[in-house]
């Protein structure tokens, strides 16, 4: 969005008709207004479709009656006006000349205002009272500016009740979430990279009830203000903060699976929650191992991966897996599990936050399979994820589903040639890398990874982009634990959609 602040324009009242998809201008002032529809979930601006003159309901943020002229049915409309690659926050007064029937959802309305809002928010208004958590240092220090200029004006125009907290130290967001009274807020919006959402879910998990009450009530969502925005890209489909804010406001409450990551045994055992991914191998090393080169931008990651491929670096390990679906059946599995009824939103119980796999010092269950040592002895990429995008243009887990009770596991090894490996990883933007013969791709519900590195120097294991010890870990799916916001209840479109 090429502007310092969002613009607020007011024009005199115009006559309109309420149509099924938009408010249609019917007088001269209105017909001079050209509007674009901001599509439900798009990763870029190119797919915006020009409509006839009017305001699409999906662009509307708020509607309010004007008391002094209420008898004339004049209303104030706040909305986002999209013109090419720019957004403007606008306000317009309208005089409604017709009426339409309420939406088919069964919602009854007693006023034109309520009717317009029900069309503007078909899934209901979810963001009434929100806690904003922002990492001021995120996004190379630009997070606060992004929030103030691109996010806050949209939330204010939508009449959202906002409480704002900036993190002051590493782990502060986890402390805030742990001590939070879940009755105070409907939603936590993480204006950051993926690190703050990771802290929030683990703060909930550190509550005495393991977050049962908090996870049952509070929506956790994310807006792109950091360098890694996999959460927002997977749920809202755009890296533009204004666009993402609008899509978030219009999205549907949906339950998401989380992953329980356990390391250590006995009194050293610790379980953390993961919402995005766990990574071991050249990709983890390229990500965390090149932090000192962050000034280079995204190219640092590409160079790190290329270095690992050319050096033929191997990460031997033992791997035990409980499969849900193997590669040959993934397309059928995806199709069968894409649409799931998530309308009940039942409260969680303590059992929903428990893991039932054996301890790490005990053998894996008999229904877990040991991954072939021909692969794991020469492993170079081990990546498990729950969301399709891990960063902009990186569709690493295209078959990921919000709440199917499984994780996507992707593995490769050095038995493939350098050319084959580079060729496969070059396809991650399209999400077709998982179809290549040298890529092992499956759906799993649990796994145990036991690293066998001779030396851990220069190597890393990451969970949601956060550094974890290189030691055995066990991960179990926690179905439907977190409430978030998705476009029509689904992740953004991928190569599997």
3-state secondary structure the chain: CCCCCCCCCEEEEEEEEECCCEEEECCHHHHCCCCEECCCCCCCCCCCEECCCEEEHHHEEEEEECHHHHHHCEEEEEEEEEECCEEEEEEEEEEECCCCCCCCCCCCCCCHHHHHHHHHCCCCCCCCEEEEEECCCHHHHCHHHHHHHHHHHHHHHCCCEEEEEECCCCCHHHHHHHHCCCCCCCEEEEEECCHHHHHHHHHHHCCCCCCHHHHHHCEEEEEECCCCCHHHHHHCCCCCHHHHHHHHHHCEEEEEEEEEEEECCHHHCEEEEECCEEEEEHHHHHHHCCHHHHHHCCHHHHHHHHHHHHCCCCCCEEEEEEEEECHHHHHHHHHHHCCCCCCCCCCCCHHHHCCCCCCCCCCCCCCCEECCHHHHCCEEEEEEECCCCCECCECCCCCCCCCCCCEEEEEEECCCCHHHHHHHHCCCCCCCHHHCCCCEEEEEEEEEEEECCCCCCCCCEEECCEEECCCCEEEEEEEEEEEEEEECCECCCCCCC
In this predicted model, which residue has the larger pLDDT, 112 or 263?
263
Q: Give 201's Cβ-side CA count (13 Å radius).
A: 29
Note the pLDDT of residue 37.
Answer: 52
245 and 292 share one domain: no
Is a pLDDT exceeding 90 seen at residue 138? no
Q: Tell me: the pLDDT tens digits for 321-334?
A: 999 999 999 999 99
Of all residues in the chain, the percent with pLDDT exceeding 90 is: 74
30 and 88 share one domain: yes
20 and 92 share one domain: yes
Q: Tell me: the pLDDT tens digits for 200-235?
A: 999 999 999 999 999 999 999 999 998 789 999 999
Note the pLDDT of residue 293.
Answer: 64
85 contacts 107 by C-beta, under 8 angstroms:
no
Residue 267 belongs to some domain of the structure: yes
Lowest mean pLDDT among 51-55, 265-269, 419-423: 51-55
Structural domain harbouring 267: 259-338+364-480
Q: Tell me: the pLDDT tens digits for 284-302?
A: 999 888 776 665 666 777 8
> In the chain, how many domains are there?
3
In this structure, what are the phi and psi dihedrals at residue 334, rounded to the nearest 5 degrees? -60, -45
The mean pLDDT of 241-258, rounded to a whole number, is 97
268 and 242 share one domain: no
Note the pLDDT of residue 142.
Answer: 87
Catalytic, out of 194, 240, 257, 404: 194
Is a pLDDT exceeding 80 seen at residue 441? yes
Is a pLDDT exceeding 70 seen at residue 128? yes
In this structure, what are the phi and psi dihedrals at residue 332, rounded to the nearest 5 degrees? -65, -40
Residue 496 belongs to some domain of the structure: no
The mean pLDDT of 486-494, rounded to a whole number, is 94
The mean pLDDT of 466-486, rounded to a whole number, is 98
pLDDT band at 46 (very low <50, low <70, confident <90, very high): very low
pLDDT band at 343 (very low <50, low <70, confident <90, very high): low
234 and 278 share one domain: no
Residue 441 belongs to some domain of the structure: yes
58 and 147 share one domain: no
* Domain final residue pick, 218, 250, 282: 250
* Domain final residue pick, 250, 281, 308: 250
The mean pLDDT of 337-356, rounded to a whole number, is 85
9 belongs to the catalytic site: no
What does the mean pLDDT of the chain come to? 89
155 and 233 share one domain: yes
Structure tokens at 236: 């809202």
The mean pLDDT of 373-378, rounded to a whole number, is 98
Is a pLDDT exceeding 90 seen at residue 13? no
287 and 421 share one domain: yes
pLDDT band at 99 (very low <50, low <70, confident <90, very high): low
The mean pLDDT of 398-403, rounded to a whole number, is 98
Lowest mean pLDDT among 99-113, 171-185, 197-211: 99-113
Residue 375 belongs to some domain of the structure: yes
The mean pLDDT of 35-59, rounded to a whole number, is 56
176 and 246 share one domain: yes
Note the pLDDT of residue 326.
Answer: 97
pLDDT band at 69 (very low <50, low <70, confident <90, very high): very low
Note the pLDDT of residue 300.
Answer: 78
pLDDT band at 127 (very low <50, low <70, confident <90, very high): confident
Residue 345 belongs to some domain of the structure: no
324 and 279 share one domain: yes
Note the pLDDT of residue 392.
Answer: 87
Is a pLDDT exceeding 90 seen at residue 50? no
The mean pLDDT of 363-392, rounded to a whole number, is 97
In this predicted model, which residue has the larger pLDDT, 301 or 400?
400
Note the pLDDT of residue 41.
Answer: 36
CATH number at residue 305: 2.60.200.40
242 and 391 share one domain: no
Note the pLDDT of residue 177.
Answer: 99
373 and 436 share one domain: yes
Residue 119 belongs to some domain of the structure: no
């Amino acid at each position: 969005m090429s502007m310092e602040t969002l613009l607020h324009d007011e024009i005199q009242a115009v006559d309109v008709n309420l149509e099924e998809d938009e408010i249609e201008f019917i007088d001269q002032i209105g017909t001079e207004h050209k509007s674009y529809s901001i599509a439900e979930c798009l990763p870029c601006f190119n797919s915006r479709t020009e409509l006839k003159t009017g305001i699409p309901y999906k662009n509307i943020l708020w509607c309010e009656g004007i008391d002094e002229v209420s008898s004339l049915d004049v209303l104030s409309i706040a909305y986002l006006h999209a013109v090419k690659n720019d957004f403007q926050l606008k306000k317009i007064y309208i005089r409604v000349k017709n009426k339409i029937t309420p939406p088919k959802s069964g919602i009854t309305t007693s006023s034109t205002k309520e009717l317009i809002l029900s069309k503007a928010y078909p899934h209901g208004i979810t963001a009434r009272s929100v806690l904003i958590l922002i990492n001021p240092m995120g996004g190379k220090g630009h997070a606060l500016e992004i929030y103030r200029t691109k996010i806050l004006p949209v939330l204010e125009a939508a009449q959202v009740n906002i409480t704002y907290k900036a993190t002051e130290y590493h782990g502060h967001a986890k402390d805030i979430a742990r001590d939070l009274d879940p009755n105070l807020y409907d939603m936590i919006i993480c204006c950051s990279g993926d690190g703050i959402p990771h802290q929030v879910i683990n703060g909930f998990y550190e509550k005495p009830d393991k977050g049962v009450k908090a996870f049952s009530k509070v929506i956790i969502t994310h807006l792109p203000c950091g360098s890694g925005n996999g959460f927002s890209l997977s749920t809202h489909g755009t890296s533009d903060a204004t666009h993402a804010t609008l899509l978030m406001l219009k999205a549907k409450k949906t339950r998401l699976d989380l992953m329980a990551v356990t390391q250590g045994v006995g009194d050293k055992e610790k379980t953390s929650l993961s919402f995005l991914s766990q990574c071991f191998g050249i990709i983890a090393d390229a990500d965390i191992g090149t932090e000192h080169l962050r000034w280079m931008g995204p190219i640092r990651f590409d160079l790190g991966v290329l270095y690992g491929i050319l050096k033929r670096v191997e990460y031997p390990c033992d791997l035990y897996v409980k499969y849900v679906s193997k590669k040959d059946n993934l397309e059928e599995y995806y199709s069968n599990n894409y649409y799931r009824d998530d309308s009940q939103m039942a409260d969680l119980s303590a059992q929903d936050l428990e893991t039932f796999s054996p301890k790490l010092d005990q053998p894996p269950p008999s229904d877990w399979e040991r991954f072939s040592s021909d692969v794991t002895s020469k492993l170079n990429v081990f990546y498990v994820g729950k969301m399709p995008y891990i960063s902009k243009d990186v569709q690493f887990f295209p078959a990921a589903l919000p709440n199917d009770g499984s994780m996507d596991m992707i593995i490769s090894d050095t038995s493939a040639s350098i050319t084959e490996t580079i060729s496969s990883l070059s396809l991650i933007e399209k999400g077709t890398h998982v179809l290549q013969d040298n890529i092992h791709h499956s759906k799993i519900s649990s796994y145990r990874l036991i690293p066998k590195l001779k030396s851990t120097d220069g190597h890393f294991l990451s969970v949601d982009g956060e550094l974890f010890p290189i030691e055995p870990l066990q991960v179990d799916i926690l179905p439907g634990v977190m409430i978030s916001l998705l476009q029509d209840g689904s992740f953004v479109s991928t190569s599997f959609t």
